[in-house]
Amino acid sequence: MSSETLNTTDAPVLFEERASSNGRCIGIATLNAPKTLNGLSLEMTRLLDAQLHAWESDAAIALVVLQGAGEKAFCAGGDLHGLYRSMLDYRASGSHDIRDNAYASNFFAVEYRLDYHIHTYPKPVLCWGHGIVMGGGIGLMAGASHRVVTERSKLAFPEITIGLYPDVGGSWLLNRVPDRAGLFLALTGAPLNAGDAIHAGLADWSVLEEQRKAVLDALLDMPWSDDAATSHTQLSGLLKQHASTPGDGPLQRYRALVAQVCTHEALELIAASVANIEQYDPWLETAKQTLATGAPSSARLAFELQRRTASMSLANVFRLEYLVSLQCAAYGDFAEGIRALLIDKDRQPRWRPGALAEASHAWVDEFFLAPWLDSEHPLVNLGNDVDARR
């Protein structure tokens, strides 16, 4: 068994190639920023995308593993501090062209291309989603062909607390959660454990964290095929041998209730139904509180995006989210949400609009006005979904 490390141990992403029993190799990418819960920076996305392209064209690589360093998180989100600084600079410039925020334009473009690349990757991708998986972490994990959660996994879409919305393809992912529960998750930021993540279609296998080394060792004992489809089957069989059965989480326990409150067609009625939930449970209470104190703009954007993207291809969802994300960086509550949570840490955001009734259809339409023609979209060459796995 041989191993080749492709970078120094202080790099933001560690890359390694390990030879299996028949000489085919496993490419292992480890997010290496445990002090920030492996928060995804622009540099990290560029490094990951470049290496994935290299491994894709390398016939010796049979499959890829994505994991995070440390015990707390696979990836807790994106580079909010860098985005915050770029939003302040953009707003101080007086520009009214959302493309003039160069950092945000690059960050979202590179991140969304990387996420789409994983969704359409021709070789098996095993993502080990241990610990916290939110925001940019969801984007990385969602498209992997084999998504593992553990007994300590916590998946969530908490963007309503920072004035954003579930991006990184979240509009596409949440539309596919059973019983319209994806809308509930977007509006409340409710966390999912391993069982709920699998139920929601955001994960495939539950494996105890203590089994990670055994799984990685088993990968090296497999006689991997030259055929990607066969390798997919081999990897599924291996994970099945190590998988455990997670218990039902609160999303499953309250499945009927969540479906009932989300049955309305108007966002205002859904929000009122959530607020009026009488059944007591800490998970439900936190969900109610998060919606009540979160950004009304985020609630409207999440609702509107799920409505508008219901029949869209994955590539077109990423294109639409790119536009809306730049609008949020230019004019929305995104900067204020980061200020209150991470900069001043007063946890007293001053949302504008301050109430859901003010986040009207006319107000939200402004976020969908593009400054470019369709043929000039920065993600015009993203793809046509012919190889998307889901």
Tell me: domain 3-376, CATH 3.40.50.970, correct? no
pLDDT of residue 192: 98
Report which of 121, 142, 113, 90 is spatially closest to residue 42, judged by C-alpha positions. Answer: 113
Asked if residue 43 lies in contact with residue 111, where contact means CB atoms within 8 angstroms, the answer is: no
Say if residue 176 is exposed, middle or buried (CB neighbours under 10 Å; 0-12, 13-18, 19+).
Answer: exposed
- Map out the domains of the chain as residue ranges: 3-376
Tens of pLDDT along 108-137?
999 999 999 999 999 999 999 999 999 999
Confidence class for position 361, pLDDT limits 50, 70, 90: confident
Confidence class for position 387, pLDDT limits 50, 70, 90: very low
Return left, alpha or beta for 345; rule: phi > 0 is left, psi -120 to 50 is alpha, else beta.
Answer: left
Tens of pLDDT along 172-223?
999 999 999 999 999 999 999 999 999 999 999 999 999 999 999 999 999 9
